[in-house]
Structure 1
Amino acid sequence: MQLPESLHPWRQWLEWFVPEQLPLFADLLGRLNPMLGPLRGLQQGGVPEPDGLGDLQRHGPYERLLSSEWLLADEVPDEFMRRAAVGEHMFLAPQYRAHQANRLIVVLLDAGPLQLGAARLVHLALLMLLARRAQEAGAELRWGILQSVPRLHELDTSAQLKCLLNARTYEVVGEEHWQAWRVWLAEQQPNVGECWIVGQRLPKTDNQSCTHRVQVHRSLDGQSLSFELQVTTTRRVSLPMPDERLALQLLKGQFDGEVVVAPPLKGSVPRVSLTLLPVIASAGTHVAMKMLDEQGMVVIKLPAANQKKPLEIRRHLWKAGQVPLTVTFMHSTLGAVLSDQWQLSFWNMPGLKAVDKPDPKELKLPPGTGTFQPVAWLRNSTTGRLFLLDTQGHLAFWAVETGRSPARPKTGQTHRLTDGVVGLAKVTKERVAYVRNDGGRLYAHSVDAYGTVSPAHVIGVAEGVSQVLFAASSRWRGSFGGCALLSVENGRETWRVISATDCPVQMERIDLAGGWKGLGLLLQEGDDHYCLVLLSPNQQSIALYCDGEQEVLFTTSHAMTKVSFCPLSGLVAALTSARELLVYSVPLRTQRLQVFCNEIPEKLKEGANA
């Protein structure tokens, strides 16, 4: 790789990045390098060792006397004695080498929510500077995470750099975190030479354990970063905000030739509404969104891995005057429940007949299109049912007509399954799960396409529970497959994860930091631990909380206005304020799609120009 001469000192680490990312680091390295100051002196220690011959001298033990002097003792003994008396003999003097203590430069990084985004890139640049600093001094660089248990890592491969980027948590740094590291560092003395702690709102430290403090934070106008280094004096420098596209690539770990490029489009995606959630097919193959300028939905087929053909985009329209109450997929086919003044009709749902609009006491449906109602559509070769949960906890369904048996519910009618329902989701291909409140207690059930309801499974007290998330799992076929219950305390979300009966841990309480929100519950097949999908307070990051650890999955340039999670496919679909759609697979830890949905129809463009 050809590097400018100014970047040659950091070639070893810059080779991990693709050429287009280098200007970002060139700017950061150039601004930060003069701030670091001299290295603290390396101490000498231990007993000196001989290291060959160094010189000749007039004094010394006679076992080191020059051989030529011993010749005088044999040939001219009087001269030998004279030289001995006046100190003229020559002795060999050995060269001594002093031991240098094994010195470490330790960098402890704040991986909490205050350092999300551009601050993490400053961490990378500072680590490269300190790695070079250690190399020049014959020392070693090690890094750790302040919020983690004391453990140090090397920085000699790009994989370790990606490990650093993935080491994120929603916890801010507290006194207890620093005290744990301080005790550990004291045990390493005298091996640690410099100790740097880097972050924002750092705890108080002593000069003996911590030699350098670095505060990184955004300016009040959000247009720059402030880098403040505290040693014996305080030094400050203002850093420009990095290019958003390059910054996102780096924060997602897309470097070392692994930059992901969105597939080419076969035309543009129509402008979509920012008030309605994206709808994800349970098979993980399609995503649908409500179009803003037309009466219908746009459906995008998610590209396969290494797909080269253009992206498949389709528009589905319905009649003007019909309002979509909810939208769902059956496999890859999109369907919707539409409402007009008198009827509910089932668009693109074969076997379901239109019904008279139910009385609000029977089924309370929203008058506008502010949100899609929870829905699940089950269908097999002999029967089918569409389940819908209204705003008052009434769970209704409509049946597909498959015969004249009086035991089967009639098509063309709205049927009530139960009341007091607080959550509904499709959890297997053939079953729907729901939780109902009965007498102040919560019970979980599942139901199939024939209407067969499973026995009740008690999951807790209903008081204070405002939302339920379901985990998709084959365990629902037998009994209970797991869910999470939300309660809000002092503005912070607390989730109680209720596991399936055969899991080793039956209940886990997860207290989220302020502003974080739970989006979905994931249980991968063969695993016994549930993972909670989270949205960050600034609505620009999606994270995964699992087994006490939090991992940031991806970030966006603009705030996310609507985010959907599908427990069956494990897909997250996020729609940002810039109408950018990002689809991410949580099980595969990979981005499936990134596309802008902002194409305005030609007729509207012509009208605006006129």
Structure 2
Amino acid sequence: MSSLPPALRPWAESLALFPEELAVHLGPFVARLSAAMGTLRPRGETEGGEPQGYDGITRRGSFDRLLVSEWLWALEAPDELVRRAAYGELSFLKPAFRQPQGARRIVVLLDAGPDQLGNPRIAHLALLIVMARRAQAAGASFAWGVLQASPERGTYSEVTPSVLLTWLAARDVEPPAAERLAAWHAALSLGDAPEETWLVGSARLARLPGAQSMSRIEVTEVLVPEERKLTVDVRPASRPVRSIVLDLPPPDDSIRLLRDPFQSRVAKPVSMAGRPKASSFHFSADGFRLVMFHSDGGVSAMAIPDSVSSTAPRPRRMKLQPGHLMLAAGWRSNGGLLALMERADRYVLHGTLKSQPPRADASERRPVTERWTPGHASERPAAHSGLGRLFSWRDRDGESVLLLTRTGELFLVYLVKAEHKVELMALDNSVTAMARIHGKLVYVRSGPSVPVGTGLRGLYPVSPNPPNVCKPVYIAPSEGPPSPARTTLHVVGPDASTSTVLEARGGEAFFGHAVGVKVPGDSGLLAMSHGPRVWRLFLEGSVQDIMVPPGFFVVGVGCWHGAPGQAGLVVLGPDERTLSWFGAKEHHVLTRASAPVVHAETSHATSLLGLLTQTGEMVLLDLRDGQVRYRATAEGS
């Protein structure tokens, strides 16, 4: 705890439970709450107890405890002795008493209901540290518990990592009830012994019968845009109210304090024994699913656990039918696994597309093929080039499915109802990255020139439209002059589409999730190759170049908690096992895989890094705190 500010060093022992980066944020809470609470008044000598010698000198007392030096006045100046006694100037020995253990008690009951879920529990965490230290300093016993819990479970007397983790998991959907408070009052015999009883929660606690005689601490989150603050009102039963305002830690640190401040939890490995080994994977368009391709040709989609303590859900699997060849898979925007397969000379789309509900202007609804414009790509996707990704796209006219192959070709997948068959329409090529951001499809195109007006409808500016505004028309390749080779960012929205030229030489590109970094609203965090071993990050109003050492391969872009306020590249080392984060000024090792990595990528919607090894081990690493959120192995070890 050497990095703690001087004002927090008296609390170093209590804050040593937490990592230093969290202790720095929690320390101001503890210091300010301790000042607002004050110290527990020590028991005076009139309160009795077993005598235990003397403890200092006092101006009051009986003459059998008068100092020997004071008796000299009786021999040398009796009148001075009388005067000193009258004015209280005599000195007496002060007796000391040993207080019986448990004679004083501090009881704290915390509200774990809906009023206090989230950020207010950070103040609860700091209050537990303050109360434990307060009781220890006064020689009092300490008991605390959750108000919604049953008193039969007992109370806690310590503030340790294991106990705090149990408390963090104690959440209730019901507000505190009068019956529960009465049960605690009877179980703990509140009010019988010299003690302090504190209720910690919202102002709702004051309305509970029996709460008026208890001390209360009311915690309220300030509901003001762009402000992250808590208001804490300390209401002792016999003293004036003290109010303080506390600034909350950054969002990522707040999440760590509320989920696992000690980084002691690890994801329990999931055994994949007896199941087909995963051969590749990708994150779904919304970022909340993991789509995995298996060695037997099947595909599965799994909801990603939201924390290391969450149970890993069972994946939804789709087996490969005999005679079929898997081409691509994805997750629909409103739920459901999609898989595109090829059988003989026809395509098969597994997954039901929801039709658009009837509208008053249904006669104006366009067929799916008229909402997109043919472009330059192969007539058929190459199955040998690798498994592709399916994107579900929904606009006012209905739902569409887009196929992005590993070679960068973009196709429209649509159903010809009259012939009951699935067809593909080529839209574009040289697509290096694609994602759905803020409800829009965003992709980067970098490759040979394409005639103006081709590709997705409205992607390329056509005069006389204003710059970056698209006109929904199609110009045949022979009618449009070729444009020079360039790298462009395309944003396809429900109402309009835009195309922006990027200042990069082109090549590979990755979309990532930004935390604490300002990025353009349309594209989010974007990284693109800008020459040999040079990558360019596109931030809001600026670009940032990052050098990649020889032998390192970029697999994604994102933000790492070890370098707050910075964006960087996620790279795979020459040993094919070590994954690192490279920023403009520093780099950090993220993790080292147990076997060579065959595929790794970052999510554009969440701060996750996924990696797959040769042995079939699948790992999801949370870049916000460095914890493994999910791990699946062939042996389950």
Higher RCO, 1 vs 2 (CA within 8 Å, ≥6 residues apart) = 1
Query: TM tier, shorter chain?
Result: 0.3 to 0.5
TM-score, normalised by the number of residues in structure 2:
0.44
TM-score, normalised by the number of residues in structure 1:
0.45
